[in-house]
Structure 1
């Protein structure tokens, strides 16, 4: 369900001024009959500029492949369109790699249709994605990416080619060359005034880095702050200069000038975040924007949750921020991101954000109203629940968590209080206040973002120890919850919340779940124990593998129980015993 458009205002508010570039590009076929190079730049506006950034791409079709020109054109146009179609919760690296992997396989497949390598779809590819205060470089082939800063030109990319003579070079990596693709990735911190130059080999094969640096330095001495027109003028002059030096290839260049970076002034950011007032604490019967409070569901130091009904009598849950944090910009940012995240997680096992037709007069958000009880309450009434009941609920929890992970988002606070079981026995994961969103983490902000840790009884060791967690941290939490549902108590004798150092975690004593609940099969305990390994690397690769193992009975090797001979064949036992005693007696007599 979609929120009103103002719900997305949280991202632009994190930066008082948005990123601004001045750009230009030029491409020429040179002495060749056709131009196999392709270039493209897209500068989006509004929310897309914040979440996805500015993209610049340059590509050179490999001349030994008949369809190199088509490959370069496809790679530029498709990368730009597909990159902006990826979820805005994804990081630049994840979005780009997924798009390039798909693009490479498509080009490779087109080439295979001809069954002739000379007619393949092969090209170089170099791209810069400018997001917030960082440039992300993606590179494969021998096109080049340079940065010009403080009068110095630095080559950021490396050529994926090998030389067999002074005039002959062969690519070792390119798009469409192989079914598997290895892309160079680099994140570069931006400074205002940075200049980035992208070229194909028609230019840098005839101009040395020193010559290009000298040429750019001279141009910028006349134009210290480049405009779009001047950026394009430089590219035209660079192409013309290369032609004068008798370049024998297509020639393409792009120039991008960082005119402005997002503001890092905390006061500016706070003013934008605080544009909507905090609602006051409300009692039953009070109204806000036409929603009347019928019950106070939850109150804490950080927030309030109310059951409200609209004018048609439809029930919702309303979450409001606590006035205790009225002047805390980091808290306001996190609260606003809760609805932003919830609006992007589409799963029947995650509480949905409610659509609102009218503008908000205050800071709050609505979710669907859930009728049932929390998993914490469920556990009170279902001590050592039947295995099949536990598996049915844990499967749904995993599906909900998987929806977060597909958006490159960690929940980070999975616990029974944040999991709801409806009257239809459907699980709903609630509360997005501790979520870590990879794509949002890339957006620079002057705020000191508070790292809200989950409840210690359910939180993975790496989170407590301050390491950077991944999806296996949520996996750990799911395993703890599953253990508690089966055993009727927390794992490690309930000592997780007392661990503060690595040594504390290593000293934990794991008690097998089947010892606490004999109805749990031993193979299931092994799956849970692995998922709760102190070292993330020892756990299952992801929640999908965990749930598969947990729900798939494993046939343990049949161990033959050794039954004593006296029980299996008493007569034979005494016969053998008598013979042994007789032999022992004879030996003693002979001695």
Structure 2
């Protein structure tokens, strides 16, 4: 039977020599699909001693993190989810201080240190701010994994330089470390960490391996005996079992279902009546079917016969439906209503209409306003992906549908990168370059990962092609597999005598199609806005120096000019 992530946890917290305990801690160990999708979360916080409300701050930080983290999108990476939650918590704590009587004395406000661990799949994700600490005990080696955010003034005086609630914005230290079965992580406030000895920690955990609460109590007691005058809180978590490689499945247990045999017309599969096959390739078979419950048409995608023995491929096939269920946009293909299934396939809405590729063949000279309307709808669909921490990675005319009402929808998520799923799912080998090479961003040809700007590049290629009927770099992009080769590529202007394209629109396209991702628009919304609103930068683009407009041509001209001048100078010297 496939194993899942299993841990043992021990905890202890005491006020120590102080009248009140300003520390707070907690842990959440979910079950089922949530364990695979979000992992196990632990957190510890230490309120600063100079504040009367620091207990409120530490409790709010821990409870907020452990609650809100599990409310974030399943598609987000652990890092994205945790940092957004902590950023919101920091803003709330800082606002509470600003509204209180300690508005101008942050040392008495809602301030606390914070350390958190999220254990997901075979990785520990660490988040830290302040001077509480995270350690890892591997074998007999106790290693500190975090740095104290404390500014030392003298041998007897120091103060926190960073903490939750201290400033309007917060910088959270992040680190990920691979997990091994038997690893032990400890989170301790400074009342423990400043006074505990590695030998005591190792001995206590070894002696109380079946009761980590007892081990935590022993370590806290040792810190008290060593003179700790602060609150003392310690959490211990031991990795008892790691998930099997095949079990890292973001779509639950669906991959355990057998793929169905290829169906024939009128055959019924789990309440879907097969009407006809609408597509077949080496990777999948797609059938038009009717949902017998409500009569609506659906598209069923079945795995290819040749790839049914590849778990990674089956996972990513099911990921398409998983993605569709998490994106709510009229411009992204939707999944069919969920139901119990007896075999492995995906069920999506069926869109009556034509692909953008077919539309472009039927409309070879569209007016610019029509193009803008289509681009804006595609952009809205891409934005729905990006706000969920997903990159489509295969945007092309064949993956865009226009239904009978004129609504544009992005389809086919087989290449979509989901940051949250990357932490648990092994990505199948799809060849050297993702997507279709004519629409693939240059960075992919260099072996780099994609970003939202990569999807922007693909959208810009589609826009350029609709306006001109050709590609911005012809077919040369696919052969440019090095930075030097890509620097030699020259953007082909969209302007020609046969089409009425404003010069500033050509400038917008050139920016969006820059070889360097950093030179493109930062957001897809900027590109869409620029297609309708000429701005000074684009209006004056033609007047920019040659060095900015075409660096390669500038250096070629400069080199030739210097060479000619050198020859002339040499001839003058010789003639004397």
Under a length normalisation based on structure 2, what TM-score does the superposition of the two structures give?
0.88
Q: What displacement does 1:518 show?
A: 3.5
CA distance in 1 between counterparts of 2:52 and 2:415 reads 52
- Map Cα deviations across residues 502-528 of structure 1 (whole Å, 9 max, x no partner): 444333332211226541111111111
Q: Say whether 1:351 aligns with 2:333.
A: yes
Q: Given that residues 273 and 329 in structure 1 are in contact (C-alpha distance below 8 angstroms), is that contact kept between their aligned partners in structure 2?
A: no
Give 1:99 deviation, angstroms: 0.6
Alignment of 1:31-430 (within 5 A): 31-114=17-100, 115-117=103-105, 118-207=107-196, 211=197, 213-223=198-208, 226-227=209-210, 230-264=211-245, 275-311=256-292, 312-357=294-339, 359-430=340-411
Gaps of 5+ in 1: 1-14, 561-591
Higher-Rg member (1/2):
1
Alpha-carbon distance between aligned partners in 2 of 1:154 and 1:423, rounded to the nearest angstrom: 62
SS of structure 2 residue aligned to 1:249 = coil
Structure 1 residue 537 displacement after superposition: 1.4
After superposition, where does 1:556-575 map in structure 2 within 5 Å? 556=539
Partner of 1:550: 531
Q: Tell me the distance in 1 between the aligned counterparts of 2:498 and 2:332.
A: 30
The answer to whether the 8 A contact 1:273-1:332 is kept is no
Task: Specify the alignment match of 1:581 in structure 2.
Answer: none
Give the secondary-structure state (helix, strand or coil) at the position aligned to 1:394: helix
Which deviates the most, 257-266 or 103-112?
257-266
Q: Distance in 2 between matches of 1:233 and 1:99?
A: 32
For 1:438 and 1:120, how far apart are their aligned partners in 2? 36
Any conservation in 2 of the 1:304–1:320 contact (CA below 8 Å)?
Answer: yes
Instruction: Answer yes or no: is the 8 Å Cα contact 2:3–2:247 preserved in 1.
Output: no
Q: Between 59-68 and 279-288, report the one with greater CA deviation.
A: 279-288
TM-fit CA distance, 1:449: 4.7
1:264 Cα deviation from its structure 2 partner: 3.4
The Cα of 1:494 is off from its aligned counterpart by 3.9
Provide the secondary structure at the position in 2 that maps to 1:124: strand
1:133/1:444 contact within 8 Å kept: no
Instruction: Map Cα deviations across residues 16-49 of structure 1 (whole Å, 9 max, x no partner).
Output: 3111110011111111111100111111111111
Q: Tell me by how many angstroms 1:496 deviates.
A: 3.1
Deviations 1:352-393 (A, max 9, x none): 001033x21221121112111100000011113111000011
**C-alpha spacing 1:296/1:263, structure 2 compared with 1 (3 Å):** closer
TM-superposition CA deviations, 1:106-153 (whole Å, max 9, x none): 100000112241541000001111111111111100011111112011
CA distance in 1 between counterparts of 2:195 and 2:473 reads 67
Per-residue Cα deviation, 1:27-73 (whole angstroms, up to 9, x for no partner): 11111111100111111111111111111111000112221111001
Provide closer, same or farther for how the CA distance between residues 363 and 121 of structure 1 changes in structure 2, counting only shifts above 3 A. same
Q: Distance in 2 between matches of 1:510 and 1:360?
A: 50
Which stretch of the first structure deviates more once superposed, 309-318 or 344-353?
309-318
Q: Give the match's secondary structure for 1:196.
A: strand
Tell which deviates more after alignment, 395-404 or 286-295: 286-295
Distance 1:39 1:559 in 2: 60
State the distance in 1 between where 2:384 and 2:55 align: 39
Cα 1:516–1:18 change in 2 (3 A) is: farther
CA distance in 2, matches of 1:159, 1:268: 36
What displacement does 1:220 show?
3.7
| Helix, strand or coil at the partner of 1:84 | helix
